[in-house]
A = this chain, B = another copy of it.
Amino acid sequence: MAKKDKIKAEQEFLKTYSSDAFEKPSVAVDLLVFTVEDGKLKIVTVRRQEYPFKGELALPGVFVGMTESVDDAAKRGISEEAGLEDIYFEQLYAFGEIDRDPRMRVISIAYIALVPIEKIHLRTGLRSEKTELTDVDALLSSKEEVAFDHRAIIECGRERIRSKTESTSLPFNLMPEEFTLPELQKVYEILLGKKLYKANFRKKIADMISETDHMTSGDAHRPSRYYKFKG
């Protein structure tokens, strides 16, 4: 194959579009790390210590490095901000408005992650912002100011969760290894924002679970069986 041609073509290309010829946007990932705590759907947030949006809530995020894929950047961010490894995450949406960051052009690719609360160990981020757990629905129905376009990103993520809860096994990613069906139903109800009928719920998820041989004990009522997620 004409290697000369190849090199020439490459040089031609780099002349019209090289690292130096054009200014480029920065690319970041923003992270929506969801969990359920105290009967509420929450996300990991940081409180901004600097302008712009100083003092406001924001999503944790990292810039995408040249030596990592976008997925890997998301994984790194989740690890740095929430101390989490090996958890479920998926790409949500790319947010690309010109002025979403007043300092510079940043295109942000948002990811959602789902974690059982037991696994979460909040960690102070690299830029020493305090990480906290914030009630998603309370935040979205409040008028609290949220940094950048992060309110819209959170709304988008909330919607994805709701939608995939109806049609996939997504909520299992919020559960510990073993769980009872009343616990699981509660999580579904939180994600969907409505009460469910016990019998119908159990029929729906019947083929996603397998039972274990032990039960709850110590409560002043009938014990509940523990189940595991079955692919």
Contacts and interface: CB of A to CB of B under 8 A. Distances in A.
Interface of A: 5-6, 9-10, 12-14, 17, 19, 22-27, 50-52, 54, 63-64, 66-71, 73, 91, 93-98, 103-105, 107, 109
A9 to B, nearest CB: 4
Given A5-B51, A9-B51, A51-B5, A23 B70 contact: no
Nearest to A65: B22
Number of this chain's copies in the complex: 2
Contacts of A104: 14, 19
Contacts of A105: 66
B69 A94 contact: no
B27 A23 contact: no
A75 to B, nearest CB: 12
A107 B27 contact: yes
Given A24-B24, A104-B19, A9 B54 contact: yes
A108 B67 CA distance: 16
Given A27-B24, A27-B27, A51-B6, A17 B67 contact: no
A128 to B, nearest CB: 13
B97 A94 contact: no
B27 A25 contact: yes
Nearest to A71: B96
Contacts of A22: 26, 63, 66
Nearest to A68: B98
Given A52-B6, A94-B91, A96-B70, A107 B19 contact: no
Contacts of A25: 24, 27, 64, 66
